[in-house]
Structure 1
Amino acid sequence: MDHQPRVHGQSWWSALRVMPRWDVMARRALRSQRLKRLMDIMVAGLALMVGAPLFLMVALAVWCSSPGRLFYVQRRLGQDRKPFGCIKFRTMVQGADRQLRRTLKNSAQLQDDFCRGFKLKNDPRITPVGHMLRRTSLDELPQFLNILRGDMSLVGPRPIVRAEAERYGEAIDQVLSVRPGLTGLWQVSGRNNLTYAQRVVLDLQYVSQRSLVLDLAILWRTVGVVLFPKDNGAY
């Protein structure tokens, strides 16, 4: 007579044999991470080599249009809360951070607007060339350097500043469990037409469902968003 415990009609040993092994799942996850990192390095390296002439033209446009540094480096939170310098072409006037503090100090309405999304829709600090770079996302070209260094990935949650972390609540550790991305789910799902809360939800959705297939789909859609934008681009 069979006295073995039953699990959904199967003996415990039979049920155990069909359960996924954690070591197998861990190896698959590690292999996926390595493939993702390899794709990051290959694509970023190729983009920097092929896009070198464009990189130089953008740098020249920034230099000629506004005196000051070519790049704007902002401290962002990376994987496991490790801070890094997120690199962009400068799209604002020199001393933009000081000007922002003065602007917000003199306008309660602008303070509310900035606190909602950490951006100003009609930001007076953005230069004419800066508007063009943001509309076409060319200001983010230097972030391929961040990808090569391992600070970022091609696809991932949006890199955030430390002040934004509290907006994510208990979900912040989940979001920061992976490298932030140059593009992501919310960037191809409405971009600036989304509320801040919707962006957080999409970042969490990406982290919970991430896979190489999803990354490839997001990269493909990103090409369409950059080449055929339906809004005015980033602001």
Structure 2
Amino acid sequence: MANTSKTPRERADDVWARPPAGRRPKLTREAIVETAIKLADAEGLDAVSIRRIASELGVRAMSLYTHIDAKEDILDLMYDEVAGEALIEEELPDDWREACLQIVRRERQASRDHPWMFELARRSPRVGPNGLRHAEQTFAAVARLTDDPEAMVAIATALDNYSLGFAIREQHTVERGECGLQSARSSMLERRYVRSLLESGEFPHLKPLLELGVLDQDTFEQGLTWLLDGIERDYGR
């Protein structure tokens, strides 16, 4: 029986290094991962368990251990599967800027579709083949601008930081809902203490923005444009 209490570092090898069980098994690794992702999308990462996945698939929990050693294997596979969704399937554009735009937009869409990825990322899942492909694709795009290794890493990191930071903030917005944000802003403006501070003249720039409600905008594309403009200014030829 597999030891499900193993930590990622204690596992002997990567799940991708272990061949699928049998020639034509009734239960496949792909079905396990697909079911786990559907559960996480619908109910959150806490819903993903060996027993729950087995129940959804109509099999015994022990049968999953033919394909994985522990739950951490499933989490690794889930993370890598979503990393695959961020890949650009066709050839990257020759223009570095357009290539980077396509990659970052795909990253944003993947994070929107699977918000549990942020929680899973904090657990430091193992990098799989799709994760490596995504990194390779990012550096291939950046290489169209510069071949300096340090510059390539700096640019790729800046793009990842922007995408990740915006996605986390966007997830928070989605969780609260548009009405929730409006309600929170209205509630803040209705508080006597806040109103007194705003009316004191200490916040001449913040006050009209709160009152007009212009803080709740989708600035992803504009911010990305500014970031790429700065990168092009420093490294463009």
Determine if the TM-score, normalized by the shorter chain, exceeds 0.5: no
Q: Give the strand-richer structure, 1 or 2.
A: 1
Q: Which has the higher contact order (CA 8 A, sep 6+)?
A: 1
More helix by share: 2
TM-score by length of 1: 0.26
